[in-house]
Structure 1
Amino acid sequence: MDIAGLWDPEPGWLNTASYGLPPKPAWEALQAALSDWRVGATSWEPWDESTGRARESFARIVGADSEHVFVGSTVSAALAPVAAAVPDGAKVLTDNVEFTSNVFPWQVHADRGVQVLAVPSDKLVESITPGIDVVAVSAVQSSTGDVLDLPAVVAASKQIDALLVIDATQAVGWHPITVDGVDALIAHSYKWLMSPRGATLGYLSPRLQERCRPSAAGWYAANDVHGSYYGPVMELAHDARRFDQSPAWFSFVGAAPALELVEQLGVETINRHNLALANEFRDGLGLPPSNSAIVSTNLPGAQEAFAAAGIRAAVRDGKLRASFHIYTTRADVHQALSALKPLI
């Protein structure tokens, strides 16, 4: 597929791990909806159709049945009913650099004895031992770019019958991943899925759906959405929709075409593009090749050098973090390396 014209980034954007750039179809869909909103040209139902499209697209991308996919606003809010469902005294294993959206929802249950145990990334699999009730970890780490050995984590979790909860925010959209062997897989779409912030999608396994109470249930979680605006009669959806949070319309208006474009391009194709550029950047820094689109390195003065050259990246945990996506070019890589050359 020819991607020319789908994005128009200013040169030097190496920060998709903070937020992704919208493709033209997503941007135009959002502008059209905002224009209609401004003058009251339509009701809200056409905007909400995008929520269903995004749900279906996300399900296909992660290999799930759409009936097991729910929508929300943030990862931490999506995980709240899951964390509430674990028993008193449960032990939750996580990475010691895990983004806090997959840590705090568990820690707030400390008053009922829920313990969060954090270990280094390279010790995670060996730490999945009897006594661990939940493994909560990112598919790709935000700060380091480390890619989880998901098959090994799935196998170890299955062996002790621990719930496996994956934050896939830094993975879905460039890293091939499926829900096989996973109990919950949650992703916010505003990074690698290049959507407006506010559109989170998640998978819940049937066994986890049975354990969880849909504590944020509202009209949108009802079996008959349009028949549940008023009154005390509650009949929730019988699938994962009962965990839906009422969607931020415009976020999903932008998300649906962005996710569908990821499908059209193919995650494998995006993965090859991203890794080629990331590894060219790594090679220029004298680093070995990696399987991540995120490059994290401790290079004193890099932040200032990037800023002087007009390159937008990030600093996380004291290290420079550069991230490479489908709209990144070799010219971006060369510009970044030129900026850093005096420091190498």
Structure 2
Amino acid sequence: MDIADAHLLWDAEPGWLNTASYGLPPRQAFEELQAVLTQWRHGSSDWKPWDASVGRARAGFARMIGASPADVMISSTVSQIMSVVATALPEGAKVVVPEIEFTSNLFPWLVAADVETVPAERLAEAITDSTAAVAFSLVQSATGQVAPLADIVAAARAHGALVIADGSQACGWLPVDVSGIDALACTGYKWLMAPRGASFGYLAPDLRERMRPLAANWYGADVYYGPPLRLADDARAFDLSPAWFSYVGAAPALDLLNDLGIERIREHNVALANRFRTGLGLEPSDSAIVTVDAPGERLAAAGIRAAVRAGKVRAGFHVYNTVADVDRALNALS
């Protein structure tokens, strides 16, 4: 399918520019979820077919980021994933974090480490031999700024620091390869367009050896009763027991994103974002997220749903958006 026609796979009302808050499910994902909810309502199915969606979603996310499914844990929130990753750090470890970072990738480090905050564009140069880890978003929630990943990885490797990334505003539209990344956490309900309650974490094998499974449970071992402790020997040891219905919706959404191709989605999304920027007299950028000083009430009055973050209107453009959505927003602001 031509990426320009992919919006036909969704049932989005015109004017949804708020994917950075939550994404809209493709029709197949919504229908699969409704079918399972009907089974739940009537007690007409065992839970095991629902659970199969967890493995399908895990494999889909792994494919998206160039990882093995064995290196992907499943969870419900990014903060839970980051909190368990933090167990790999020694007491008093120094972690460098952007000064404007979403709290799910900030508070876990404030709890567990000595945090130094710096401007996002200075992350790489702030890493020194005393840095245990650098934790940052691949795309910033407040601004849409895309992190210079290659520079950060190079600096971290030169100083022996861990690279810990939040992909929540990136995975699903920005091509991501976990080469050089030690841990990557991503919530599913934004650009992956899954129900809230599905999240994914890439954990490099060397990192896992230093981590403790703080929320060890039956799902990480596929064992129901009794000692001894016997967890999986891969990233599944850190799984949370899954919210099945969230993964029932996540699996087909991930399959569709992978089939459409993340690079093609990136080109589509950034082209729409840059059309919006150009219409507002701004220079083009490399992000699907645009934050601008603009009268948000005008957008709301025109039926445009966007967000306000850090005092600015934040608009996000995804595969189901069209040129008509952009022009409608520009007309509202003109």
State the TM-score, normalizing by the size of structure 2: 0.98
Q: For 1:67 and 1:288, how far apart are their aligned partners in 2?
A: 42
The change in CA–CA distance for 1:181 and 1:36 in structure 2 (over 3 A counts) is same
Q: Secondary structure at the match of 1:186?
A: strand
**How many angstroms does 1:261 deviate by?**
0.2
Which blocks of at least 5 consecutive residues in structure 1 are unaligned?
A: none
Q: For 2:154 and 2:265, how far apart are their aligned partners in 1?
A: 27
Question: Hey, what does 1:67 align to over in structure 2?
Answer: 70
Q: For 2:274 and 2:260, how far apart are their aligned partners in 1?
A: 21
Question: Hey, what does 1:22 align to over in structure 2?
Answer: 25
Which blocks of at least 5 consecutive residues in structure 2 are unaligned?
A: none
Which residue identity is paired with 2:127? I
In 1, are the aligned partners of 2:8 and 2:320 still within 8 Å (CA)? no
**How many angstroms does 1:123 deviate by?**
1.4
Q: For 1:106 and 1:124, how far apart are their aligned partners in 2?
A: 16
In 2, are the aligned partners of 1:130 and 1:160 still within 8 Å (CA)? yes
Which residue identity is paired with 2:261? G
Count of aligned pairs: 331
Q: For 1:132 and 1:286, how far apart are their aligned partners in 2?
A: 40
Which residue identity is paired with 1:55? R
In 2, are the aligned partners of 1:139 and 1:147 still within 8 Å (CA)? yes
Q: Secondary structure at the match of 1:207?
A: helix
**How many angstroms does 1:132 deviate by?**
1.0
Establish whether residue 323 from structure 1 lines up as the match of residue 316 from structure 2: yes
Establish whether residue 199 from structure 1 lines up as the match of residue 198 from structure 2: yes
Q: Secondary structure at the match of 1:133?
A: strand
Q: For 1:207 and 1:159, how far apart are their aligned partners in 2?
A: 17
Q: For 2:136 and 2:176, how far apart are their aligned partners in 1?
A: 14
Establish whether residue 248 from structure 1 lines up as the match of residue 247 from structure 2: no
State the TM-score, normalizing by the size of structure 1: 0.95
Q: Secondary structure at the match of 2:172?
A: coil
Q: Secondary structure at the match of 1:8?
A: coil
RMSD: 0.9
Establish whether residue 55 from structure 1 lines up as the match of residue 58 from structure 2: yes
Comparing 316-325 and 115-124, the one that deviates more: 115-124
**How many angstroms does 1:3 deviate by?**
2.3
Counterpart mapping for 1:17-166 below 5 A: 17-109=20-112, 114-166=113-165
CA deviation vs aligned residue, 1:201-252 (integer Å, no higher than 9, x gap): 1100111100001111100000xx1xx1112232100011101100000000
Establish whether residue 338 from structure 1 lines up as the match of residue 331 from structure 2: yes
Which residue identity is paired with 1:220? Y
In 1, are the aligned partners of 2:7 and 2:320 still within 8 Å (CA)? no
In 1, are the aligned partners of 2:296 and 2:313 still within 8 Å (CA)? yes
In 2, are the aligned partners of 1:5 and 1:24 still within 8 Å (CA)? no
Q: For 1:24 and 1:256, how far apart are their aligned partners in 2?
A: 13
Match 1:274 to one of 264, 269, 280: 269
Question: Hey, what does 1:174 align to over in structure 2?
Answer: 173
**How many angstroms does 1:4 deviate by?**
5.2
